[in-house]
Amino acid sequence: MPTIALENVSKFYKPKRRRKGPVHIDMGVEDVELTIRQGEFVFVVGSSGSGKSTLLRLITGQDKPNQGKVYVDDKDLNWVLKLSRNRAAVLFGKIWQDPTLIRKKTIEENLALASKIALGRESPRLVEVRIKKVLGLVGLKGVEKKYPVELSIGECRRVELARAMIGSPPILVLDEITANLDDDCIWDTLHLLNDINRRGTTVIMATHDSQYVNILRRRVITMSEGRIVGDVQKGKYGDVLEREQKLPPLSKLGTDLI
Ligand code: ADP
Ligand code: MG
């Protein structure tokens, strides 16, 4: 079961061209050291622009680091993902901030497509069973023939969760999926994630919702200006812990690197 490790990882974005003034480099994340073991439940918190989404994209291999390496079980993630096209979908179930269900396809068709990407072509009967199973898991039986527009935002998010789970990936990566949901929906979603996690799936979730983080008391990683400034087991929102390691000196990155 996969352990994810980031070693000395930095990601920066090219500056916008400006005629005058110093060159400004947008740091996504800087000098991140992090290990997440199979079965952990990790909240990634921090203000807007602190690097949460960048960190998640590095973990799933969607972004490649400019410095450092991401490992999955001691193997270079980049290399692992190149082995086969569906590797990313087998390893990671992902839900991003903006809803991504295909509007012109039914829920069933949306899920069938995800199943095909993760697991390849299978008999329609098998796919049907799989779709029923994941919809049952998220408490949404009987919506197969509906279109996303016929469901509430909360239900759509649950379909996305079902879609993320369809290939039974060992790791779920979720970026602010509770934004725009009401309290009841957020609790339902977190309950669901708790259950999924208890069965062994790693859950890595970026969020702004301090009250839920404080009640659930799981591992809390706090980002600030692209760096990890807190990493606390059974933590609370805002817990900042100087880990054994000292924070490295501020970036000496120069324009020659971009
Ligand atoms: P968060 O998810 O915590 O709001 P992000 O990871 O989105 O933070 O952003 C971290 C920093 O990286 C910000 O300064 C942001 O402007 C910059 N950044 C993120 N994505 C891009 C991008 N595609 N192009 C340029 N800058 C980016
Ligand atoms: Mg973000």
Contacts of 116 (CB under 8 A, 6+ apart): 122, 127
Domain around 234: 4-13+25-99+171-257
Residue to mutate, 24, 26, 64, ligand 1, most ligand atoms under 8 Å from C-beta:
26
CATH of the domain at 93: 3.40.50.300
Residue 51 CA: which ligand is closest?
1
Which protein residue's CA is at the shortest distance from atom 23 of ligand 1? 13
Q: Which has the closest alpha carbon to 245: 257, 233, 258, 227?
A: 227
Give the pTM.
0.89
Q: Would you say residue 126 lies in a domain?
A: no
DSSP state of 145: T
Nearest CA to ligand 1 atom 1: 49
Q: Is 156 contained in some domain?
A: no
> Tokens 């690097």 appear where?
51
Q: Tell me, rounded to whole angstroms, the distance of Cα 63 from its chain centroid.
A: 12
24 C-alpha to ligand 1 centroid (Å): 14
User: Does residue 137 lie in a domain region?
Assistant: no
Number of the ligand 1 atom closest to the C-alpha atom of 11: 12
Q: Where are the alpha helices (DSSP H) in 21-95?
A: 52-59, 77-83, 87-91
pLDDT per residue over 128-187, tens digit each?
999 999 999 999 999 999 999 999 988 999 999 999 999 999 999 999 998 888 888 899
- In the chain, the number of structural domains is 1
Within a domain: 233 = yes
Cα separation, 148 vs 92, whole angstroms = 23
* Atom 15 of ligand 1, residue of closest alpha carbon: 49
- pLDDT, tens digit only, all 258 positions of the chain: 799 999 999 999 877 666 666 666 778 999 999 999 999 999 999 999 999 999 999 999 999 999 999 999 999 999 999 988 788 888 999 999 888 999 999 999 999 999 999 999 999 999 999 999 999 999 999 999 999 999 998 899 999 999 999 999 999 999 999 888 888 889 989 999 999 999 999 999 999 889 899 999 999 999 999 999 999 999 999 888 755 444 444 444 443 333
Q: Is residue 37 part of a domain?
A: yes
Cα(221) to ligand 2 centroid in Å equals 14
Dist. CA 16 → ligand 1 center (Å)? 13
Q: Evaluate whether 102 touches 160 at the Cβ level (below 8 Å).
A: no
Q: Cα(186)–Cα(207) distance, rounded to whole angstroms?
A: 11
Q: Which residues line ligand 1 (CB under 6 A)?
A: 13, 26, 28, 46, 48-54
- For ligand 2, the distance from its centroid to the CA atom of residue 127, given in whole angstroms, is 33
> Of the candidates 169, 170, 145, which has an alpha carbon nearest to the alpha carbon of residue 159?
145
The verdict on residue 138 lying in a domain is no
Tell me which residue has its CA closest to atom 18 in ligand 1. Answer: 28
